[in-house]
Structure 1
Amino acid sequence: MPRNNPSGRADARTAQAVLTEANRTHHTRFRLDHRFDDGFQSGAWLLTDDTGRQAVLKWNPARDLARRIERAAEGVARIRAAGYPTPAWLAVGTSADGFGYQVQEYVVGRSPQQVGASEARLLIGLLETHTGLDPDPGRCWSRFVTGRIADRRGDLWRQADGTGPVGRELVRICERLLALHGPVVLPTGDLVHGDFRPGNILLHADRVSGVIDIEALGSGTRVFDYATLLSAHGITPDAVRMLCAAGEHVAGPGVLAYCFAQVALDLTVFVHSRGLEPGIRNVSELLDRAAILLGRAEATTA
């Protein structure tokens, strides 16, 4: 099994220590089965117990996120009560070493390797259920985006500009895109997943069976999740057009432009700061998507 590395990937020894504490605290008897390598972020392990029940253990090595994970449990319960298809959290807490963890129900499904028209229709339908489903008004993604994007001399713009030629071009296009729309007020009151990417969506029998990695959920506009999905690798041209149209329909093209600029610039900075080669190579796709939004904006203002 993989060992820890500088990126914080879980190893069996630490996962076992976290699970031992969780079992003791919550009076469960789960044991580690294997670590997920597909469809789950690092630190996600399949669990089983003596009855054959399956669950998933997730823990995060970033100790400063432990309180956020515990806080997210209430939001997860709230949206599940409204019918949202995210797995139930069976247990949540913080280990003695300060690692936030959760044990959630196991859901059958696999993440789509590519989002085409049929997958886009499913995901648009799901995103529209975010409407008014506000799980945590105190954690507002719209306020976060506005603060980061409004200051063109701030860290986000400066750091993205410093990532290299493609990053500089992305900054230039985003500046042109936002200039076309002028000042924009981002709505709030919707559920925002915060990392709505294909890898965090499970499909089974032609439906969405689960939405995972939802610890960053909060309030804001669901347009942020549309923008995040638009930043993902493996979205076909037809699906890009569908997602752009649906995202713009929610609150206008300016809101989608602001959200996409935040997502694209932030992702560019993240993959370069971590030296993630696949992500760095995919920054050119972010540039292409930004150019598509710019072209749509220019067409409507011509």
Structure 2
Amino acid sequence: MSEDVDTRTAQVVLNEANHAHDQRFRLLHRFDDGVQSGAWLVTDETGRQAVLKWSPDLAWAPQIERAAAAVAKIRAAGYPTPAWLAVGTSTDGFGYQIQELALGRSAQQLTAREARLLINVLEMHAGLDPDPQRCWSEFVTTRMTGDDLWRQAAGTGPTGRGLVNACERLLAAHGPVTLPTGDLVHGDFRPGNLLFHADRVGGVIDIEALGSGTRVFDYATLLSAHDITPEAQDLLCAAGEQVAGPGVLAYCFAQVALDLTVFVHERNLQPGIQNVGKLLERTLFLLDRAEGRG
């Protein structure tokens, strides 16, 4: 979608949202770090700022509307995600939501400091099941027991094939595992969706995919980030393994790594493609931990 078309579409979506929810927001500018959906800074006549998010994926609209109740539930429990001020679907079928603007910035590198703060947030996920009918553990198990993900990852090139081989060895080292359920799962718990402000986590954003499952999946997703210091990696691995054992973390990380490899190659995202080598290194790191225990 071109920049002009994106702007016009965002304006149409915002106009409809304003009308449907009796708001007076206007567009300011688009945030540049979104890959799959548009996110815009908006303001109203009082100077209040918020964020308009909308998705060009028409099939995603029902999930955006479904997520509103789950977001309200976890916020009521104290979870640090912005309130949703409006949610709906435009006449063209684009799901949208307007949320409070969260203070803070994402970290370019995850150090031990950020890791400790994020572990505290991830442990808030324990037992905070927002949507039992939307199960990430079931999704991960289905993806990993089928052939498509493995074949697609191997088809991305030599590094992808190396990653597939390392994941096979990692899972063999742990044997069969069953993924727990009952926790909050964000589904995309990456540094770009985590805002730090005044020595705390100021906001967890891009939460539309939230559901049930094991918080280990979010630990595994965080471990796939581009830039993590060795100390932060050790802290996150130890905390993730403590939840349900090292086998569950290994299983979740393998799925995250394979899925991310396919995703970045399908969209030709060069920074992500360059990161596949790091995913292979972290898989081997987890394999070394497994073999060291043996």
Band of TM-score, shorter chain: over 0.9
TM-score by length of 1: 0.95
4+ residue segments displaced more than 3 Å: 38-42
Alignment map for 1:1-302 (pairs within 5 Å) = 3=3, 11-38=6-33, 42-151=37-146, 154-301=147-294
- Within 2, Cα distance between the matches of 1:84 and 1:168? 39
Q: Over aligned residues, Cα RMSD in angstroms? A: 1.3
- Within 2, Cα distance between the matches of 1:89 and 1:44? 14
> Deviation per CA, 1:252-276, whole angstroms, max 9, x where unpaired?
0000011001100000001111111
Shift of 1:121: 0.3
* Structure 1 unpaired stretches of 5+: 5-9
Shift of 1:150: 2.2
Shift of 1:37: 2.2
TM-score by length of 2: 0.97
> Is the contact between residue 37 and residue 56 of structure 2 (CA under 8 Å) also seen in structure 1?
no
> Is the contact between residue 160 and residue 269 of structure 1 (CA under 8 Å) also seen in structure 2?
yes
Higher mean Cα deviation, 39-48 or 77-86? 39-48
In the alignment, residue 65 of structure 1 is paired with which amino acid? Answer: W
> Deviation per CA, 1:51-104, whole angstroms, max 9, x where unpaired?
111111000000000001000001000000000000000000000111000000
Tell me the secondary structure at the aligned position of residue 3 of structure 2: coil
Tell me the secondary structure at the aligned position of residue 132 of structure 2: coil
In the alignment, residue 218 of structure 2 is paired with which amino acid? Answer: D
Tell me the percent identity: 74
- Within 1, Cα distance between the matches of 2:93 and 2:37? 17
